[in-house]
Structure 1
Amino acid sequence: MTRILHILDHSLPLHSGYTFRTRAILKAQQARGLDVRAITGVRHGGEGPPTEEVEGLTFHRTPGQPSGPPGLREWSEVTLLQAGIERLAEQWRPDILHAHSPALCGMAGLRAARRLGLPFVYEIRAFWEDAAVGNGTGSEGSIKYRLTRALENHVVKGGDAVFTICDGLRDDLVSRGHPADKIAISPNGVDLTLFGDPPPRDDPLTAKIGIGPGPVIGFIGSFYDYEGLDDLIAALPALRTRHPGAQLLLVGGGPMETALRAQAAASQAASAIVFTGRVPHAEVERYYSLVDVLAYPRKKSRLTDLVTPLKPLEAMAQRRLVAASDVGGHRELIEDGITGLLFPPDDPQAIAAALADLIDARDRWPAMRERGRSHVAARHDWARNVNRYLDVYQELLGREGMGQSAAAPSA
């Protein structure tokens, strides 16, 4: 049985888009007959044993605490993770090392792979220097930004194979001079077995949190500046001039929460904006049931143009109606007017007009929902997308028929 060791920044039982994608990858590979484990770096930060079983998956933790000034501290992280990978490899004997961004994980994996004589696969989910700009912890063109980019280029150059999650990231790497035939795409996806028919509207919850008959525009996720939730709040008064019952439901939290709550309190539509705070993951589906249109008003930036988010796919998998800003990452997922709606970014008045038009076209909703679900099934179902990994693994190991021990559809 082929053994794949995944190298991660953090993992379950922590909840994030990063950990949910990892879970989907590992579960899909398990289902195809691969033996998979994962090791996390020191940034995982969760409490737990050195080896942790979560949802049938095995995660090994890297011990130690990095120290030193910026730069040396990050190199200490790489050294600690590399040592952990090599110790685990001596015991478990993986066939392939598969590291996932950020580049610190990639560097640790690359160094370990060369020491161990193993094939090395590197997967980029976002350029973390751009993510730092997007969440307000970095600035474009800074020394840290340039060093992170340079480190990523080094790992990509050294990898035997590279994956990105979308065309935007792949095209950017090719523009830097990396060979296109070395970079494959493993798009964001969902496990469709987790999504059946959408549950009925949770009426007790509507009464509890103060949601009326709607229409309800909703966002469920993390409150970062690049998500553009300030534009969604600013759009609500204009939307209510055409649809007086419209409400905005914001589920989650994050760095922008305080500012967004203050903006909402000062809005002419303050009474129609409901914040729930963070909710347990097991409860999220109840909140989805209250929403007529899931809105993703990401601001236009290098990050949002290059990276595809996971949330719209999850919404479409649940046959939810999606509306999103017309940025590169959304255009890879949503066909305007067919599987969802695209509206101009950074423009509250245009957002309001687009949402109002969509609400007016209720007769189109059922077909749009079904087309969205069909798009996810055809392009973003992990049962199919796992084949992209198997093809690369097979080529690196020179093996035939890898992962055919369990029946699965072809890609």
Structure 2
Amino acid sequence: MTRVLHILDHSLPLHSGYTFRTRAILKSQQAKGLDVRGITGQRHSAAGPAVEEVEGLTFHRVPGKPSGPPILREWREIESLQAAIERLAKEWRPDVLHAHSPALCGMAGLRAARRLGIAFVYEIRAFWEDAAVGNGTGSEGSIKYRLTRTLENRVVAGADAVFAICNGLREDLIARGHDASKIGISPNGVDLTLFGDPPPRDAALAASLGLAEGPVIGFIGSFYDYEGLDDLIAALPLLRERQPHAQLLLVGGGPMDVRLRAQAAASPVHDAITFTGRVPHDEVERYYSLIDVLAYPRKKSRLTELVTPLKPLEAMAERSIVAASDVGGHRELIENGATGLLYPPDDPAAIAAALAGFIDRGEDWPAMRERAHQYVARNHDWSRNVDRYLSVYQDLLKRSQTGGNQPSAE
């Protein structure tokens, strides 16, 4: 049985898009007969034992917290994670080390793999320097931005195989001069066994939130600036000129929460905007049932042009109606007019006009729901996507058995 050790920034029991993708990958690999475990670095913030079982998955933790001045702190993180990987590998004997971005995990995995003489795979879910710009914790072109990019380039160059979650990331890596032949795609996916028809409208929840019949435009997720929720709030008064009963439901929280609530309170249609705050993960489906159109108004940026989000795929899998801004990450997932709606980013008036016309064409929605669901089933079902990993693992293991050359760690 092939053993794969996944090297992670954080994991379950924490809930995030990162941990849900990790769970899907590990569960799918288990179902294919692989023996898998995960190891998290010092940024995993949840308290727990050194070895933790969560939902049938085993995770090993690296003790301690990051400390020291910038750069030195990150290098200490790499060294502590590398040492923990090597200790675990000598006991558990994995065949493949599979690190997932950020590059801190990648460099720790690369160095450990070369010390141990085993295959190394690196997976990029986003360029974290761009994500830092998007969530307001970094600036493009800064020293930290350039150093993060340089570190990732070294990991990609040294890896035996690389996966990116979408074409945007892959093409960017190739443009930097990396070997296209070793960079594959492992797209965001869903476990279709968890999704079916849209749940019936939860009338009791709607009443408790003060929602009328709608149409309800909704967003469920994290409130980051790049998500463009300020544009959605600004679009609502214009939308109500053509759709007088339109309402906006915002489910979640994040860095933009206070600012968005203040913007909504000052809106001339403030009584049509509802914030729920964060809700338990096992109750999210109740909120989906209240939404007629799930809106993803991401702003145009390097991050949103290159990276595909997970939430629209989950909505399409559940046969929900999706309307999203026309940025590269959305264009990889949504065919305008066929599986959803694409509208101009960063333009509240254009968003309002597009949504108003879309709502008027509600008779097109049943066919759109079915096309979207079928698209996800063909291209983003984890039970199929996992085969991309298996073929690469098998090729690397055959290569190592026949004495194939390994790239150097430096």
Same fold (TM over 0.5): yes
In the alignment, the residues of structure 2 paired with residue 67 and residue 202 of structure 1 have an alpha-carbon distance, to the nearest angstrom, of: 47
In the alignment, the residues of structure 1 paired with residue 44 and residue 307 of structure 2 have an alpha-carbon distance, to the nearest angstrom, of: 23
SS in structure 2 of the partner of residue 251 of structure 1: strand
- Cα distance, 1:66 vs structure 2: 2.9
Q: Where does the alignment leave 5 or more consecutive residues of structure 2 unmatched?
A: 400-410
What aligned pairs does 1:66-81 form with structure 2 within 5 A after superposition?
66-81=66-81
What aligned pairs does 1:269-308 form with structure 2 within 5 A after superposition?
269-308=269-308
In the alignment, the residues of structure 2 paired with residue 321 and residue 197 of structure 1 have an alpha-carbon distance, to the nearest angstrom, of: 12
How large is the Cα RMSD of the aligned pairs? 0.6
- Cα distance, 1:68 vs structure 2: 1.4
- Cα distance, 1:198 vs structure 2: 1.9
2:5·2:37 contact (CA, 8 Å) conserved in 1?
yes
In the alignment, the residues of structure 2 paired with residue 68 and residue 280 of structure 1 have an alpha-carbon distance, to the nearest angstrom, of: 35
Amino acid aligned to 1:350: A
2:343·2:351 contact (CA, 8 Å) conserved in 1?
yes
What aligned pairs does 1:220-299 form with structure 2 within 5 A after superposition?
220-299=220-299
- Per the alignment, residue 361 of structure 1 pairs with 361
SS in structure 2 of the partner of residue 43 of structure 1: coil
Percent of aligned pairs with the same residue? Answer: 79
Amino acid aligned to 1:106: G
In the alignment, the residues of structure 1 paired with residue 330 and residue 84 of structure 2 have an alpha-carbon distance, to the nearest angstrom, of: 37
SS in structure 2 of the partner of residue 250 of structure 1: strand
- Cα distance, 1:197 vs structure 2: 2.1
- Per the alignment, residue 181 of structure 1 pairs with 181
In the alignment, the residues of structure 2 paired with residue 280 and residue 271 of structure 1 have an alpha-carbon distance, to the nearest angstrom, of: 25
- Per the alignment, residue 140 of structure 2 pairs with 140
In the alignment, the residues of structure 2 paired with residue 195 and residue 309 of structure 1 have an alpha-carbon distance, to the nearest angstrom, of: 17
Amino acid aligned to 1:187: P
Q: Where does the alignment leave 5 or more consecutive residues of structure 1 unmatched?
A: 400-411
For the pair 1:380 / 2:366, whether they are aligned, the reply is no
In the alignment, the residues of structure 2 paired with residue 200 and residue 274 of structure 1 have an alpha-carbon distance, to the nearest angstrom, of: 20
Amino acid aligned to 2:48: G
Amino acid aligned to 1:43: R
- Per the alignment, residue 404 of structure 2 pairs with none
In the alignment, the residues of structure 2 paired with residue 318 and residue 395 of structure 1 have an alpha-carbon distance, to the nearest angstrom, of: 35
- Cα distance, 1:90 vs structure 2: 1.0
- Per the alignment, residue 104 of structure 2 pairs with 104
Q: Deviations over 1:309-331 (max 9, x none)?
A: 00000000110000000000000
- Per the alignment, residue 158 of structure 1 pairs with 158
Amino acid aligned to 1:33: G
Amino acid aligned to 1:338: A
- Per the alignment, residue 169 of structure 2 pairs with 169
In the alignment, the residues of structure 2 paired with residue 122 and residue 15 of structure 1 have an alpha-carbon distance, to the nearest angstrom, of: 22
In the alignment, the residues of structure 1 paired with residue 346 and residue 196 of structure 2 have an alpha-carbon distance, to the nearest angstrom, of: 34
In the alignment, the residues of structure 2 paired with residue 322 and residue 254 of structure 1 have an alpha-carbon distance, to the nearest angstrom, of: 22
SS in structure 1 of the partner of residue 43 of structure 2: helix
- Cα distance, 1:398 vs structure 2: 1.2
SS in structure 2 of the partner of residue 298 of structure 1: coil
- Cα distance, 1:59 vs structure 2: 0.5
- Cα distance, 1:199 vs structure 2: 1.2
Q: Deviations over 1:152-208 (max 9, x none)?
A: 000000000000000000000000000111100000000001112221000000001
TM-score (norm 1): 0.97
- Per the alignment, residue 83 of structure 1 pairs with 83
SS in structure 1 of the partner of residue 24 of structure 2: helix
- Per the alignment, residue 65 of structure 1 pairs with 65
Q: Deviations over 1:125-175 (max 9, x none)?
A: 000000000000000000000000000000000000000000000000000
In the alignment, the residues of structure 2 paired with residue 274 and residue 261 of structure 1 have an alpha-carbon distance, to the nearest angstrom, of: 9
- Cα distance, 1:45 vs structure 2: 1.0
What aligned pairs does 1:5-24 form with structure 2 within 5 A after superposition?
5-24=5-24
SS in structure 2 of the partner of residue 151 of structure 1: helix
- Per the alignment, residue 114 of structure 1 pairs with 114
SS in structure 1 of the partner of residue 68 of structure 2: coil
TM-score (norm 2): 0.97
Which has the larger displacement, 216-225 or 188-197?
188-197
- Per the alignment, residue 56 of structure 2 pairs with 56
- Cα distance, 1:6 vs structure 2: 0.1
In the alignment, the residues of structure 2 paired with residue 66 and residue 135 of structure 1 have an alpha-carbon distance, to the nearest angstrom, of: 21
In the alignment, the residues of structure 2 paired with residue 353 and residue 132 of structure 1 have an alpha-carbon distance, to the nearest angstrom, of: 32
In the alignment, the residues of structure 2 paired with residue 302 and residue 77 of structure 1 have an alpha-carbon distance, to the nearest angstrom, of: 27
Which has the larger displacement, 63-72 or 81-90?
63-72
SS in structure 2 of the partner of residue 12 of structure 1: coil
In the alignment, the residues of structure 2 paired with residue 293 and residue 67 of structure 1 have an alpha-carbon distance, to the nearest angstrom, of: 45
In the alignment, the residues of structure 2 paired with residue 144 and residue 87 of structure 1 have an alpha-carbon distance, to the nearest angstrom, of: 30
- Per the alignment, residue 406 of structure 2 pairs with none
In the alignment, the residues of structure 2 paired with residue 5 and residue 46 of structure 1 have an alpha-carbon distance, to the nearest angstrom, of: 20
